[in-house]
């Protein structure tokens, strides 16, 4: 590929090396089963953070900082030499996790493409040029003679978007860079767009997205036909659980800052509960009973907030007392509460349900658990939000998200008694 600058010769070194993988094929790397899962969770935190940033309408410069911070925080490794391996392994694990449905593939493809775009832009020009060449794109740089004929127009466009006029330009069919055309960031002549080297990211990202999209479909075929059954006793349980993993704080270990008492619950419920828990709490007070699904969803939430086991037993016993006597409560309900705190059975210290688990649940007749944003009618949802004191404008914004099935975008940040409680959302993900 001939490279021509507007006035100066190119000084690109031949040994430009990138730490940004293209993920074209899985490398023959060995990984411990523990790292297999932990690496994937760390990368998933990055993708979830990107998804949240996009849903909140962050500006390009804000997204650039967000992606950089997310990557730096979650993808580091004690051994510097293992950072790239962690990057590659985590990508291919999540490709396997998110290949399994059309909806999951769509989300994963979008988030990985966004991540790739920002990482590409963060590379230096020499590495960008090397990556461009790796994709073997069939575009030639504009010759010096042709450049002279369109120089004035190219410089005019470059100045209008704050871009250096000393750049390499490529000529490509305009339909292959629709986002640049829509943003009026290129000069178009005879059906071709003149793309500066700094804008080549659009071409590279398009190629990356196309390759990953095809790879996800192929991975799904392998998963369905072979991997799922072959690995049913080892990897399959991990793969099937990862897309709904709880990524919020670990509430299973009590801390001195997270205890709440029975006298706090009413005030906290009024000021700080998300809608799903507010609804369950109200139904419990109204009916003095909840079915198993509701008890688990609300009970683990209260546990995660810091309600101790003894207080939890007292709380549920008092709430059930109008319909269930003390003896029956001790026989039929107390064991389940102790079990959720890790005091019975396998002694697993359970964490609160993730938003994705709540969203994907299927309440039956008489059940009150699940996600109101998904399961309520629009009329009932509007009424519930209004009762919580949500303003009309905010209600309409929420209903608009619900109509577009974005149940996962509702996040709650509350501060009470010096404790910041975050109900983290888990978005529906794509699998590969």
Spatial contact of 171 and 149, defined as CB atoms under 8 Å apart: no
> 426 lies in a domain?
no
Whole-structure pTM value:
0.54
pLDDT in tens, 212-270: 999 999 999 998 998 888 888 777 877 887 776 555 544 444 444 457 888 888 888 88
Task: Give the mean model confidence (pLDDT) for residues 316-338.
Answer: 90
Same domain, 80 and 217: yes
Q: Is residue 414 part of a domain?
A: no
Instruction: Tell me phi and psi for residue 116, to 5 degrees.
Output: -60, -45
Q: Look at residue 4 in the predicted model and tell me its pLDDT.
A: 32
What integer is the mean pLDDT of 292-316?
92
Number of structural domains found in the chain = 3
The larger pLDDT score, comparing residue 389 to residue 288, is at: 288
pLDDT in tens, 286-296: 999 999 999 99
Is pLDDT of 395 > 90? no
Confidence grade of residue 407 (pLDDT, cut at 50, 70, 90): low
The segment with the largest mean pLDDT, out of 230-234, 340-344, 426-430, is 340-344
**Tokens representing 159?**
């100045």
Distance CA 373, CA 276 (A): 8
CA distance 110 to 311: 45
**63 and 78 part of one domain:** yes
Q: Is residue 22 part of a domain?
A: no
Check if the beta carbon of residue 215 is closer than 8 Å to that of residue 95: yes
Residues 115, 91 share a domain: yes
Max Cα-Cα span within the chain? 93
Q: Can you tell me the distance from the alpha carbon of 336 to that of 330, in angstroms, rounded to the nearest whole number?
A: 10
Residues 76 and 215 in one domain: yes
Are 327 and 237 contained in the same domain? no
Alpha helices in 9-76 (DSSP H): 33-55, 60-74
**What's the CATH number where 232 sits?**
1.20.930.80
Residue 116 pLDDT: 95
| Cβ-contact 344, 335 below 8 angstroms | yes
In a domain, 249, yes or no: no
Question: What span, in angstroms and rounded, lies between the C-alpha atoms of 100 and 431?
Answer: 5
Q: Residue 189: beta bridge partners?
A: 192
- What is d(CA 202, CA 196) in angstroms, rounded to the nearest whole number? 11
**What angle separates helix 275-287 from helix 378-387, to the nearest 10 degrees?**
80
What is the CB neighbour count within 10 angstroms for residue 231? 15
Q: Are 430 and 104 in contact (CB under 8 A)?
A: yes
- Please say if the pLDDT value at position 394 is more than 90: no
Question: For residue 410, what pLDDT is reported?
Answer: 54
Whether residue 289 is contained in a domain is answered as yes
Does 227 lie in the same domain as 102? yes
| Strand ranges inside 59-168, DSSP E | none
Of 293, 291, 273, 290, nearest to 370 by C-alpha is: 293
Q: 273 and 353, same structural domain?
A: yes
Give how far Cα 212 sits from Cα of 45, 105, 108, 197, 345, Å.
Answer: 20, 10, 10, 23, 44
Kindly state the percentage of the chain with pLDDT values over 90: 28
Structural domain contains residue 141: yes
165, 146 contact by CB (below 8 A) = no
Residues 233 and 84 in one domain: yes
- Secondary structure element (H or E) that encloses residue 295, with its range: helix 292-305
Mean of pLDDT values over 392-412:
72
pLDDT interval class at 38 (50, 70, 90): confident
Q: Exposed, middle or buried, 368 (CB in 10 Å: 0-12/13-18/19+)?
A: buried
Q: Is 168 helix (H, G, I), strand (E, B) or coil?
A: strand
Q: What pLDDT is stored for residue 390 in this prediction?
A: 82
Look at residue 24 and tell me if it is in a domain: no
Q: Indicate if 85 and 185 belong to the same structural domain.
A: no
Residues 364 and 232 in one domain: no
Model pLDDT, residue 18: 61
The reply to whether 366 and 399 lie within a common domain is yes
If you average pLDDT over every residue of the chain, what do you get?
Answer: 80
pLDDT, mean of residues 342-365: 82
Q: Which residue in 136, 163, 141, 116 sits closest to 18, CA to CA?
A: 116
* Average pLDDT estimate for 77-102: 90
Domain carrying residue 168: 133-202
Same-domain check for residues 54 and 121: yes
Most confident of 121-130, 196-205, 312-321, 351-360: 312-321
33/63: higher pLDDT: 63
Instruction: Extract the tokens encoding 238.
Output: 């991990």
Residue that finishes a domain, picked among 183, 202, 221:
202
Residue 420: is its pLDDT beyond 70?
Answer: no
What pLDDT, on the 0 to 100 scale, is given for residue 115?
Answer: 96
Asked if residue 121 belongs to a domain, the reply is yes
Handedness of CA 343, 345, 346, 348 (dihedral sign): negative
């Amino acid at each position: 590929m001939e490279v021509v600058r507007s006035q100066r010769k190119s000084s690109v070194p031949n040994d430009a090396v990138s730490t940004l993988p293209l993920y074209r094929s899985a490398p023959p790397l060995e990984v411990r089963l523990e790292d297999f899962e932990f690496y994937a969770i760390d990368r998933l935190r990055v993708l979830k953070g990107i998804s949240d940033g996009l849903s909140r309408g962050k500006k390009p410069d804000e997204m650039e900082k967000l992606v950089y911070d997310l990557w730096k925080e979650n993808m580091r490794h004690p051994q510097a030499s293992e950072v790239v391996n962690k990057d590659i392994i985590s990508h291919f694990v999540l490709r396997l996790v998110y290949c399994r449905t059309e909806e999951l593939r769509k989300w994963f493809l979008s988030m990985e493409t966004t991540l790739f775009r920002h990482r590409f832009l963060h590379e230096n020009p020499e590495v960008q040029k090397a990556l461009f060449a790796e994709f073997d794109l069939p575009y030639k740089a504009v010759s010096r003679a042709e450049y002279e004929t369109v120089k004035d127009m190219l410089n005019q466009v470059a100045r209008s978007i704050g871009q250096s006029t000393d750049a390499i330009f490529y000529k490509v069919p305009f339909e292959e860079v629709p986002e640049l055309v829509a943003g009026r960031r290129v000069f178009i002549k005879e059906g071709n767009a003149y793309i500066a080297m700094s804008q080549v990211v659009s071409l590279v990202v398009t190629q990356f997205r196309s390759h990953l999209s095809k790879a996800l479909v192929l991975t799904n075929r392998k998963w369905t036909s072979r991997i799922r059954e072959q690995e049913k006793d080892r990897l399959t349980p991990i793969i099937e659980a990862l897309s709904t993993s709880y990524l919020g704080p670990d509430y299973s270990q009590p801390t001195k800052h997270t205890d709440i008492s029975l006298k706090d619950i009413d005030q906290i419920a009024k000021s700080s509960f998300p809608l799903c828990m507010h609804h369950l709490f109200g139904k419990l007070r109204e009916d003095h009973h909840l079915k198993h699904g509701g008890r688990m969803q609300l009970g683990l939430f209260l546990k995660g907030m810091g309600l101790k086991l003894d207080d939890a037993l007292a709380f549920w016993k008092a709430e059930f007392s109008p319909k269930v006597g003390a003896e029956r409560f001790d026989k039929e309900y107390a064991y389940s509460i102790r079990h959720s705190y890790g005091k019975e059975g396998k002694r697993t210290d359970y964490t609160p349900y993730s938003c994705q688990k709540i969203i994907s649940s299927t309440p039956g007749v008489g059940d009150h658990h699940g996600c109101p944003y998904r399961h309520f009618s629009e009329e009932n949802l509007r009424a519930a939000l209004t009762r919580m004191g949500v303003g009309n404008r905010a209600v309409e914004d929420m209903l608009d998200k619900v109509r577009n099935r974005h149940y996962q975008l509702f996040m709650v940040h509350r501060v009470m008694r010096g404790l910041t409680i975050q109900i983290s959302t888990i978005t529906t993900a794509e699998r590969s």
